[in-house]
């Protein structure tokens, strides 16, 4: 999704709705972090002034290949060091 900052009135309705915490609030207007956004459209449904519009970064249809497993051959989850670490703070 993209936030059109010239349309956004800065009501903040979208910010806490984002399931990916992708929306920053910069100088009183929404700004969507493109690396975090998953184009789910939750923010668009909340926007009263239609400032949030789909950016169409993803193809309309994702073809799922259920026959191949890209993780085949990797060690089972229990043997790996946990990828989740506590923050240094």
Residue 17 within binding range of other proteins, rule CB under 8 A: yes
Does residue 15 touch other proteins according to CB under 8 A?
yes
CB under 8 Å to 34, separation ≥6 — which residues?
55, 57
Q: Is 20 in the site for other proteins (CB under 8 A)?
A: no
Q: Which of 2, 4, 5, 12 binds other proteins (CB under 8 A)?
A: 12
State the burial class of residue 57 (Cβ atoms within 10 Å of its Cβ: 0-12, 13-18, 19+): exposed
What is the binding site for other proteins (CB under 8 A)?
A: 9-17, 21, 24-28, 33, 45-50, 89
């Amino acid at each position: 999704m993209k936030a059109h900052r010239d349309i956004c009135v800065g009501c903040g309705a979208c910010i806490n709705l984002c399931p990916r915490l992708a929306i920053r609030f910069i100088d009183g207007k929404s700004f969507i972090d493109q690396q975090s956004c998953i184009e789910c459209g939750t923010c668009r449904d909340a926007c009263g002034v239609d400032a949030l519009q789909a950016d169409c970064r993803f193809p309309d249809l994702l073809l799922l290949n259920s026959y191949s497993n890209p993780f085949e051959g990797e060690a089972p989850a229990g043997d790996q060091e946990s990828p989740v670490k506590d923050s240094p703070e």
